[in-house]
Amino acid sequence: MPALLICYGLALLYAVVRYGVFAPQNLEHLPAFILNKGISMAAAFCFVLALREQHKRERGRSHGVEPATWFQAGLFGVWAHVPLSLALLRPAYFREFHVGERLSFNGEAIFLFGALAVGSIYLLSRPGCSPRGRWWGSLATLLLVAAHVSCMGLARGMNINRSHAWLPPMWLLSLVGLALGIAYLLRTRPGSPAPTAPTEVRSAHRR
């Protein structure tokens, strides 16, 4: 549990520092706009840490937080991020996503990939999936989240300046983390199941 709190705490602190230290007027939007950014980045890193922990455990090198616990922590962040984002979905908050009162092409792509990622995460959270199916589902989820974050970065740009505390954007940090997660996932790909003998062969052995 302390590791989960540290992950969320650092992400929230980063969001507050980046958006509030040199632009204190932004702290008026702390409860939703700023904290939503921290929550979303923490959720992405929780999924990455789940894959990292799984990779380490398969090599017998870790007895820390369970991968499933990291995944559940990421799930919490997703369920919090979605309603907060929908509540803020207006040009006053995200003018880069809009053309007039409507979403731009890129703005719609952001929410398309985000919605597909949420659906994929929901499917991963359901029991009964084979290891191979879960691996492919995890890869699809990471790619969808990466597409969601990339479109957001394309819309918002880098914005490394004084009003943002000269810190790199959170979408960029999330994208780097997701790339690491994909790398961990590719190194833990389950092998193909061993082929079973045909029915006729098994029957012959019994005789």
Tell me the pLDDT tens digit for each residue of 136-178. Answer: 999 999 999 999 999 999 999 999 998 899 999 999 999 999 9
Tell me whether residue 45 is in a domain: yes
Q: Identify whether the C-beta of residue 88 lies closer than 8 Å to the C-beta of residue 32.
A: yes
Tell me whether residue 203 is in a domain: no
Tell me whether residue 6 is in a domain: yes
The pLDDT of residue 120 is: 95
In the predicted structure, residue 206 carries a pLDDT above the cut 90: no
Tell me whether residue 200 is in a domain: no
Tell me whether residue 157 is in a domain: yes
Task: Give the total number of structural domains in the chain.
Answer: 1
Tell me whether residue 201 is in a domain: no
Tell me whether residue 115 is in a domain: yes
Residue found by looking up tokens 């989960």 in the block:
4
Close Cβ partners of 124 (under 8 Å, ≥ 6 residues apart): 71, 134, 137, 138, 141
Among candidates 77, 69, 61, which has minimal Cα distance to 2?
A: 69
Q: What is the mean pLDDT of the chain?
A: 89
pTM for the full model?
A: 0.86
Tell me whether residue 172 is in a domain: yes
pLDDT in tens, 64-78: 789 899 999 999 999
Number of other CB atoms surrounding residue 155 within 10 Å: 18
Domain containing 184 equals 2-189
Tokens of 31: 């409860």
